[in-house]
Amino acid sequence: MFSKLLIANRGEIAVRVMRTAKGLGISTVAVYSDADANALHVAMADEAVRIGPPSARESYLKGDVILAAARQTGAEAIHPGYGFLSENAEFAEACAAAGIVFVGPPPSAIRAMGLKDQAKALMAKAGVPVVPGYLGEEQSPKRLAEEAERTGYPVLIKAVAGGGGKGMRRVDSKSGFAAALEGAKREAASAFGDDRVLIEKYVARPRHIEMQVFADNHGNAVHLFERDCSLQRRHQKVIEEAPAPGMPPAMRAAMGEAAVKAALAVGYSGAGTVEFIADASEGLKADRFWFMEMNTRLQVEHPVTEAITGLDLVELQLRVASGEKLPLAQDQIRLQGHAVEARLYAEDPQHDFLPSTGTLERLHLPENLVRVDSGVREGDAVTPFYDPMIAKVIAHADTREAAAAKLAHALEATQIAGLRSNNAFLIRALKQPEFVAGDIDTGFIPRHQAELIPPKAEPPLQLLGQAAMFLVRECERAHRSNDPWDRADGFRLVGDARQTVDFVIGGKRRSVQLMHRHDGSLEMMDAKAAVSPHGNAVRMKSGDIAVFERGETWVLSLYDPFAAADEQGSSADRVTAPMPGKVIQVLVRPGETVKRGAPLAVLEAMKMEHTLAASADALIATVDVSPGDQVNEGAVIVGFAKENSEAA
């Protein structure tokens, strides 16, 4: 076994790998960009080396710099985590040339599975079923459009290199193909440096089911059962579970056999995931699944496999990489219970899941109830440079129903403030009747969007009472004195004292009446139930109050009688950047008239493209940015003519 390991990654996966390495007595080395100088993975490591500026291309994707850090610290092996250099065959070769072990498969296997078109051709030759579509070298828009027509709409356009939903577009008809192709190729080129795509038949009721495989350097290969990753938004996984709901034993055996066959076909070693798409229109069947791709690395969702098998996949990776044989044969691996994982992201579900940046002014994760894998702490910042994941929360129980309920309960106890998150959305998804029944597919979230993402309602009176009582108690602590005349509790010689706290909700003033009792207690008047002033509210840096209830976060502003009351229409004359990012395209010119919903510009942030659209019919007055510009959140992108904003 190695004595020193460098983790060429960041965030929760770097922390995850370090925990196992430390348990095995292995010293750890972290690498970090300037944006991560104070990150948790840096604090946990035995040593840490700076590798560059915040941009991933100038830091975590710099293989030569990372290798230099390994040589500098005497690391014998490099664990790449997932993303970044984890599926980079050239980096794996460079590690070998430097005499450093790459904890992953051989470069030949990475190359074989790294390009989706070649991988599918190889799998078809090996007898693994593949999805119908086009995998050819000719990439002219005309040829691709012809192949989409031949395959039959709806189709998926997918980047040949990479994954994670980047460079992927669903197209339902011929009329939308050209624009979708342009966007997919542009996003693929930005994310992977390769704009080639393939065409794939879109399955009507698809289930995304993947098999965890493991192979050693002695010819042994096994699968560790399946994971269902069907709950996705924007082609990115949100909730994963193991095993797959409703999976017949015959299908599990057939899919496991196909996955092991795929691994052996490329001379695989280490941890890998073979991803399949299954047609669930008539229930899961052993002859209705097809190979999509193989991820030649550890997956984000690996904890659910660890939960149902009792195995530490990172430990297995390290043992295989150090030359050991797999410790178990296929018939010795047992499936125990059910596990569900939720990806807790800094994003805004009510605005198309746009990433949210900022400081985690409050972060409480119930690690006493469930497993939590996180790379951030309270007080850390979520920046625009990397994936906006806050944590993975994993629950394991004897049954699927119990695991999902346990996870929902844990998320209800989670508190997040300082930025937006998908926490409440996850809770609603876990409790949705069709999900509870196991009736899921990749269209689940779009199909139930209105139910899963309801309009943001005003906070109930009880929460206003909690915030008001929190403020009063905070004021009392700040003015604590033995002098009764210094007390800020509305003290009266006769009777109980009343106090009013005013908030601004949706531009309107809302008042809360509190009662100070002679015994020192504080009550909310007209409350139907007792209101606790403790534990459910925090003061933000802005002065606002964040209040938490069952996984929801409400941010309340105090009423300021001297502030301007009317801000109506202040943003109706412009479109601003919803987050920091890079302007990729500007689609309008001054003097042009646009309709509601018309695309105005394309912004790239957190590895994804986001189209900014007109909220109403408008006359373009100004275009304030150009392609290539880096903009901050709130920067004006397009200005509308004044008469138009007044009409809006």
Q: pLDDT per residue over 297-340, tens digit each?
A: 999 999 999 999 999 999 999 999 999 999 999 999 999 999 99
CA 299 to centroid of chain Cα atoms: 13
Which residues lie below 8 Å from residue 634, measured CB to CB, with a gap of 6+?
576, 577
What percent of the chain stands above pLDDT 70? 91
For residue 647, the model assigns a pLDDT of 44
Digit-coded pLDDT (tens) for 46-73: 999 999 999 999 999 999 999 999 999 9
Domain 132-201 is in which class?
A: alpha beta
* Mean confidence (pLDDT) of the chain: 89
CA 124 to centroid of chain Cα atoms: 32
For 157, counting Cβ atoms within 10 Å of its Cβ (0-12 exposed, 13-18 middle, 19+ buried), the class is buried
Instruction: Please state which architecture CATH assigns to domain 4-103.
Output: 3-Layer(aba) Sandwich (3.40)
Q: Does position 562 have pLDDT exceeding 80, yes or no?
A: no
Under the banding of pLDDT at 50, 70 and 90, the label for residue 567 is: very low
For residue 272, the model assigns a pLDDT of 96
Most trustworthy range by pLDDT among 135-144, 182-191, 332-341, 616-625:
332-341
Q: Does position 485 have pLDDT exceeding 80, yes or no?
A: no
Q: Does position 516 have pLDDT exceeding 90, yes or no?
A: no
- Cα–Cα distance for residue pair 116/135, rounded to 1 Å: 8
Comparing 309-313, 477-481, 604-608, the range with the smallest average pLDDT is 477-481
Instruction: Pick the catalytic residue from 169, 297, 362, 420.
Output: 297
Strand partners, 212: 273
Give me the residue spans of the domains in the chain: 4-103, 132-201, 205-336, 339-456, 461-558, 574-647
Q: Does position 213 have pLDDT exceeding 70, yes or no?
A: yes
Is residue 190 classed as helix, strand or coil in its secondary structure?
helix
For residue 591, the model assigns a pLDDT of 92
Q: What sign results for the dihedral spanned by CA atoms 102, 106, 112, 116?
A: negative
Residue 474 tokens, joined: 């905070």
Residue type, 217: N
Residue 129 tokens, joined: 């079923």
Is residue 201 classed as helix, strand or coil in its secondary structure?
strand
Write out the H or E segment, with its range, that includes residue 30.
Answer: strand 27-33
Name which of 116, 114, 110 is nearest 133 in CA terms: 116
Higher pLDDT, 615 or 279: 279
Comparing 124-138, 439-453, 488-502, the range with the smallest average pLDDT is 488-502
Residue type, 179: A
Residue 596 tokens, joined: 């509601």
Under the banding of pLDDT at 50, 70 and 90, the label for residue 496 is: low
Digit-coded pLDDT (tens) for 389-401: 999 999 999 999 9
What percent of the chain stands above pLDDT 90? 66
Q: Looking at domain 461-558, which of 3.40.50, 3.40.1350, 3.30.700, 2.60.40 is its CATH number?
A: 3.30.700
207 is catalytic: no
Equal CATH topology for 132-201 and 574-647: no
Q: Does position 494 have pLDDT exceeding 70, yes or no?
A: no
Strand partners, 29: 6, 47
CB 214, CB 324: distance < 8 Å: no
Under the banding of pLDDT at 50, 70 and 90, the label for residue 645 is: very low
Q: What sign results for the dihedral spanned by CA atoms 319, 320, 324, 326?
A: positive
Name which of 390, 405, 328 is nearest 359 in CA terms: 390
Under the banding of pLDDT at 50, 70 and 90, the label for residue 111 is: very high
Cα 452 to Cα 316, 358, 427, 626: the distances in Å are: 38, 24, 9, 36
- Cα–Cα distance for residue pair 464/531, rounded to 1 Å: 10
Q: Is the CATH code 3.30.1360.30 the one for domain 205-336?
A: no
CB 135, CB 121: distance < 8 Å: yes
Name which of 7, 145, 28, 168 is nearest 82 in CA terms: 7
CB 245, CB 294: distance < 8 Å: no
Higher pLDDT, 454 or 166: 454
Strand partners, 239: 231, 342
Under the banding of pLDDT at 50, 70 and 90, the label for residue 126 is: confident
Residue 430 tokens, joined: 């876990």
For residue 531, the model assigns a pLDDT of 59
For residue 483, the model assigns a pLDDT of 56
- Cα–Cα distance for residue pair 603/582, rounded to 1 Å: 6
Q: How many CA atoms lie within 13 A of 349 on its CB side?
A: 26
Superfamily of domain 339-456: ATP-grasp fold, B domain (3.30.470.20)
Q: Is the CATH code 2.40.50.100 the one for domain 574-647?
A: yes
